[in-house]
Structure formats: structure tokens, C-alpha cells
Chains A and B, each alone.
Chain A
Amino acid sequence: DAGVIQSPRHEVTEMGQEVTLRCKPISGHNSLFWYRQTMMRGLELLIYFNNNVPIDDSGMPEDRFSAKMPNASFSTLKIQPSEPRDSAVYFCASTYRPGQPQHFGDGTRLSIL
């Protein structure tokens, strides 16, 4: 069974550049979540979608961050412009309905120089 698929696995770019992270949830899962993991702050929820609609984006750090889910099988998290403090591992997770355990992808390790 295919799990949550994230791309790229690693991204290194210079500050000021636009970064786009991609996620394909598990087929049939209707809820999708974006998390950020750092040593200092642990795992933080950025935003989540239910049936492709953003439900709660209160965790998005600032306007430089945006997320979309144009269809049930694809989501993007975009940072523009990127800054060094955005360096972290970004995870996508999905679940087939709210309240059920979330399944995580292997993450994108982002380094902003």
C-alpha cells in the first residue's frame, strides 16, 4: 500500500527563493495535515484540510507561508520568500476522516542558506 508521498525529500536553496513542497495523501483519505518539525519546537501543526477545504490555518507562521489542496490527491505548501529560520523538516499527514489516527509521510528536509 502506498503511504503518504512527499517531494522533494531534500531541498537546499538560498534565502529569498520560493519553495514549494508537495504531498500526495493516502488514497481515500479526506483529511490532510502539514506539520513542521524543529529541535526547538518539536512537531507543530501548520494547517489542515478536510475534503480539500482549509479548516484551520492558525499554525501558519506568517503570510510568507501558503497551502493549497486543489484536489483530493494533491497538496502544496509554499514559502515565498524563504528565510533561514524556515529551515526544518516539513511533514504531511493524512487520515480518512477527522478523529482517526494520522499517517505521516517521510518529510521534506528544507535548508535555507
Chain B
Amino acid sequence: GQQLNQSPQSMFIQEGEDVSMNCTSSSIFNTWLWYKQDPGEGPVLLIALYKAGELTSNGRLTAQFGITRKDSFLNISASIPSDVGIYFCAGQLTGTASKLTFGTGTRLQVTL
């Protein structure tokens, strides 16, 4: 199936650093979602974006819905060890009744 392109594939950062990752698509979406997956668990929703240009924050996390509706980014400020995990973007078209297309994932490692 189709997957969205996420970059970078993996990141190694030091505690306290800021993190930025993005997601691009060849087609437009009406909704962008960001999930985090810890080992042995299911993806957990972090942020949902519903409008082109929208900028939304959830604590240290900030995400934006690109103006073209073909991309989104996620920033994490002042990273901490529990930020370790795999981050997935997902795009959704309203007309396709909830079908999500997932990104390839960004694996984040945080060193002390």
C-alpha cells in the first residue's frame, strides 16, 4: 500500500535538544495526524491537524499542517529520555471514510 515519506528515518540526539521531523505526500490530505509508538505497544495519538496552515501544540510538541496539504512537520522541544520511540505521521482524506495512510516512521533515540 501507499506510504508517506518521512524524514529523517532515524535521529540520535542529546537530552535537551530540539527535534524536527517532517512528512511529505504526492497527494493532498484533509487531516494530518502524528502518532508515537513505544516498543511493544500500539501507536498513541499525539496531535491532530484539520486545516491547511494550522499550527497546533501539545506540551513540548508542535505540529503544522502544510499549506499545500501535502506535508506536515512535528517539532519536539527540549527532548527528554521518554521521547524515545518511533514517530509516525498519517494522512486522511475525509471522503475515504477514515482510511489512514501512514508514514514510514522516524526512530528517535535520546542520549543523556
Binding site for B on A (CB under 8 A): 4, 31, 33, 41-45, 48, 50, 55-56, 59, 91, 93, 95, 98-107, 109
Contacts and interface: CB of A to CB of B under 8 A. Distances in A.
B102 interface: yes
B48 A101 contact: yes
Given A99-B92, A101-B48, A42 B100 contact: no
B44 A99 contact: no
Given A48-B99, A95-B98, A42 B42 contact: no
Interface of B: 1, 3, 31, 33, 35, 40-45, 48, 88, 92, 94, 97-100, 102-105
- Secondary structure class of chain A's binding surface, majority of residues: strand
A101 B45 contact: yes
A50 B97 CA distance: 9
Given A43-B88, A56-B99, A106-B41, A101 B1 contact: no
B1 A41 contact: yes
Given A104-B42, A104-B44, A99 B98 contact: yes
